[in-house]
Structures are given as C-alpha cells and as structure tokens.
Chains A and B, each alone.
Chain A
Amino acid sequence: MKRASVLLAVIAVIVLAVGWRAPVFLTLRNVLDIANESSLLAILVAGQAVVLLTRGVDLSVASNLALAGMLCALVGKAFPGAPIALLLLMGLGAGALLGAVNGVLVARCGLPPIVVTLGTMSLGRGAVYMASGGAWVSEQDVHAGIKALPRAELLGVPMLIVIAAVVVAAVAAWLRWRPAGREVIALGNNPDAAVYAGIPQRRRLLQVYALSGALAGLVGVLWVGRYAIAFTELAAGYELTVIAACVIGGVSIAGGIGSVGGAMAGVLFLGVVNAALPVIQVSPFWQQAIAGAVILLSVAVNAGAGRKSRLPILERSVP
C-alpha cells in the first residue's frame, strides 16, 4: 500500500503542476477524457496483473485482442444486423479460447510462460492476417453497434469507463472474495506449498490465462469499435504498455506481490502523463522514453521496499 500511495502522490503532483500551467487540465471533461483513454488499458492490465501474480506473464494480449477484434469485425461486416451482445460474447469467447491455449501450455505442459506467450503472440498475429487476408476492415464496414458502443454514455459517463470500472472491480472482487481468487494469490506466493494446501494448481493457472485472454478479447471488440478500424497490426507492441502499467503500479514480475488496485494506479499514471504531454506542449515522442524511465524507477523503488525483511537474528537486548 505504501508504494501505491507514493505513486498516487506523484500523479497528484503531476496533475497539479500541469493544471497550474494549463487550467483546462483540471476540468471534469479532461478527467473523463483521461479515464476514457485509459479504460481499455485498464481492462487489459486487470487481466495481466492476475497473470503476473501467479509468477507468469502474458505477452500475447495484444495479438489476442487484435485477433478477437478482427474476427468480430469480420462477422460484424458480414452480418450488420447482428446484436451487439452477440459480438461482445464472441470477443470474450475467442479471447478466452486463445488464453486457454496459453494456459494449457503453461499449466499442463509446464512450459515457461514467457516463451509460450512469445510463441502464441506470433501465432496470433499471423492468424489475424490469415483471417483478414491482409485487408483492412474500414470504418464504414465496422458494425454500427460496435462503433456506437464506445460513444454511448450511461448517466453522463462514457460507456468505456463504465465497462472498465465494472471489469476491474469484478476482477479485484474475485481476487479478494472468491475462494478461487484467494487460491490464485496463494499459488503465486508459494507454488510449492500450494500442492500441500490442496490448491488445484493446473486448473487455477488455466483459469488465469483464460481470464487474461477473455479480457483481451473484450478489449479487442471495444478497440475496433472505438477506432472504427480493424487491421493486422492492430495494437502491435501494446503488450509492453500493459506490462509497464503493471510494473509501475507495483505488481512484481516475480509473482505474489501486488494488487489490481496498485496496477490501476499504474494505468492512471500512464494516462495522466500521456494526456499531460500535449498540454504542456511536449512532443508525443517523449512518451515512450518517459515510460521506459518510469518503469526503471518503479522497479528500483519497489525492489527496495519489497525485499523480504528477514527477521533480525541479533537481539539488541542481552540474551
């Protein structure tokens, strides 16, 4: 929690500093804009955080989202009258299936997640190409419902923010309140002890990767709707942004440490910085360099704080 508060403090400082230069930064409209921009990242980060907690990593989220998005775009193009709920379900399902492939390779075949998801990332990207034949699904062909969804509002709040909030809250609640979620945290904390505790390791890992995949699938549909386009290189490289947000938010790559809430602070940080740059007239080309520097700083800071404090052997009083 201490790390999260430091990060929030830093975010507050940035917001105030930028807001002082450009008061428009502090308006509600701007806040909603930042949240809107960050909502897709937030959903992906929620899934990735859970994977990281189990000492794994999912590098295939971006290609999974592109594949699910492309599949829905193609279906939406072929059946413009299809109900949007169906397309969303398709996205979730396709993503979950892709995630399950990762899960089987990691949990059942015991392969290292970094290698597995590297492989499925390439496979996924290629699959997008093959599904689309290399052609783009352009704006007019994207299903009207999918396009409209991100622009809709619920009680004045943009739909993307609503969906993201619901998803993130659901994932956080699952980790905190559902027995399966607690087992996932235990699993990442001490995989060897998990066997003795009767935690079904393989099943939980499979579920975790399927979750990450499902969320990627959902984001795929939303992404296509938001940007009204679907093409092979959609979201290429975005997996690094997702991991960056997690790392900045204090989720440890070694597993067992971190929370969804902390990861959201990381999302917020990236969102605020990306929004602030054009306002203070800094070239957007700074984004990546800043993200890199912040990752390094966060890891250095978190490593210092998170180092397991060994109980001091030496008693200061006379034995």
Chain B
Amino acid sequence: MKAFGSWEAVLLSLIVLLYAGFGAGIDGFLSPYALADSTVNISERAVIALAMAMLIIAGEIDLSIAATMALASLAMGLAMQAGAPLPAMFAAGLATGAACGALNGWLVTRRGLPSIVVTIGTLSLYRGIALLALGDQAITGYPDALSTLGNGTLGELVGIEGLIVPIEFGIALLFALGVVVWMHCTVHGRRVFAIGSNPLAARFSGVAAGRYRFGLFVFAGIAAALAAAMLTGRIGSTRPNLAAGWELDAITIALLGGVAIQGGRGSLVGVMLAAVLLGAFTFALAMLNVPGIVVTMIIGGLLIAAMVLPRLLRRRAEGVA
C-alpha cells in the first residue's frame, strides 16, 4: 500500500517524457494555455477513475459508473428545469449518484451477487432510464455558473489574473488528494486493501467488509455525480449518451495506474498519474489530428502491454516455475 513506488516513478517519468517529446514536436504545446487546456481530458476521468480504483482494490468493479454520470446529469437538468437554484441542482445530482451507488452496493453486499454482473445490469438500467427520460432530446440552458465550473479557471474564481489552472483540474487534484490520503494513511484505507486481498481473512480479523464495500459503491456514485457536474458544465448539455464508454476509460486508467484487477494492491497516486498521462497523451494526439478512434485503439494496446510486460519480466526473474 505504498503510495509512491517504482511504478509511480515510471509513470511520472513517462509524463515528463510525454510533455517534453510532444513539446518538442508540436508548436505551442508547452505554452501555458495549451498546458491548461491539456487537462480537459484529465479532470473528469480522474475523478471516476479514482473511485473505480478504490472499488477494484476492494475486489469489486463498477461498470455502471458512466451511466450513473448520465443519470446524475439528468437529475441536475431536471432540477434546473423545475426552477431550482444551483446548489439544489448539485444536491439533486449528488443524491442521484449516491442512490445509484447504493443500489449497486445493496445488491452486491446484501444479496451477495457478483459486482461485474450487477453493474452490467445497472449500466443498462441507468442508461435506459436516461433514454426514457430524454429520448433523443437534450437538456440545455444551464446557468453560467455551471459553465464556469466546467470551463473556467481558478484565476477567475479568486480574482487572480494569470492563474489559468482550470477549476476542474483544481477539483480533481483536491479529490485525488483526499482519496490518496484516505486510502494510504488511514485505518479505513488499510482495511479496504485487506478486504481486496482476502475478504474472508479480513472478516475473520474483524473488518466489516460489507459495510466498507457498500460505502465504496455509494462513494463511486457520488464521484460520478461530481464528474457529471463538471462535464455537464463544460459541454453545457445533458444527453442520454453522456460519458458513453467512460467506464472503460476509468478501468484503463486504474489498471495503467498499477491497480491489480484481482484486488488488494495498487496506489491511488499511480492512478492519478495515469489519468494525467493518458489525458495528456490523448490531448496531444488530438492536437495532431489523430482521430479519436485511433487514440482509443492505442489506449487498448497500451492496456494490454501494461499487463503483459510485468508478467514477462516476473517470469524471467523467477526462472521456470
């Protein structure tokens, strides 16, 4: 449960290499404005990837997290249409996210169902509800304050000229900090690692595994709502296919960040670094006009390479097993 180990060092070096490499190759890539822009692919995904990572470390998975984002955004939009002020909109989104997570948590902990199948089911259910509510329409007309959340900079918020760090990125960093500290420095985080490593042994040691897992699912729902608020603010509309496919991005970031799919191992610092790396990478490719789908393809390849390489290296180190 070390927060910063050798893999994190590798990720950090890759980030530096990436910025240096693309900076040399692309004009203006290293300009402050481009750097700030490059975080656009990082912030929202980092939030859900961190929550996903916590669940994977605990031995579970949540494939419905992006669909939860859509529902949370829908709740915000409906609240807005009902005339609610911004704080109430946020509340509606967070409550919806929490409820979605609670359903997952209840089915997994109280009914003992495997999380992969449950969240495949809730993924369809939540997207389906969004489809039912909106059909092929979109909700637009969000207040300016929300747009500032998604597109504005910290400088605008506190009145400092030249502080062009996007608000979203600031939120993501704060969120990451909170998650890293909770998982790596507190008793609770230690227990989550134990649950993922061996749920039965953890229970025998007095860890309330069910309660922690339920809480992590609810937390994932809340994280989804936070990401949804940021995304909705940034693009200014709610559609049923909001964040479609983002659950795969979240898993990819978590795995590239060094979280073991079997659970019990990983660093949340690594996950944040992987989010930065991947976000910057996709941003750079977009600047180079590489089509989105090819980017996805490269990410798929990276995911496999990230899995295969450690095993090959370990096998060589151990000799014939």
Contacts and interface: CB of A to CB of B under 8 A. Distances in A.
Direct contact of A and B (CB under 8 A): yes
Given A122-B299, A247-B120, A105 B125 contact: no
B255 interface: yes
Given A111-B311, A293-B125, A126 B300 contact: yes
A283 B135 contact: yes
Given A122-B299, A292-B126, A299 B121 contact: yes
Interface residues on B, range: 35 or more
B294 interface: yes
| Interface of chain B, main secondary structure | helix
| Interface of chain A, main secondary structure | helix
Contact of B118 (A120, A237, A287, A296): A296
Contact of A118 (B297, B303, B311): B303
A50 B146 CA distance: 48
Interface string A273-284: 000000000010
Nearest to A294: B121
B304 interface: yes
Nearest to B298: A126
B200 to A, nearest CB: 16
Interface stretch (B106-114, B149-157, B178-186, B218-226): B106-114
Contact of A303 (B111, B251, B311): B111
B310 to A, nearest CB: 10
Contacts of A232: 293
Interface string B97-132: 000000000010001111011101111111111011
A120 B121 contact: no
A290 B312 CA distance: 44
Nearest to B240: A285
Contact of B301 (A109, A115, A123, A290): A123
A129 B123 CA distance: 26
A105 B113 CA distance: 28
Interface in B286-321: 291, 293-294, 296-301, 303-304, 307-308, 311-312
B304 A290 contact: no
- The 5 tightest CB contacts between A and B, nearest first, are A126-B297, A122-B300, A289-B128, A292-B125, A292-B124
18 contacts: A105-B304, A110-B311, A111-B311, A112-B261, A115-B303, A118-B252, A119-B307, A122-B248, A122-B303, A125-B300, A126-B298, A130-B297, A253-B117, A283-B135, A286-B128, A289-B128, A290-B128, A296-B107
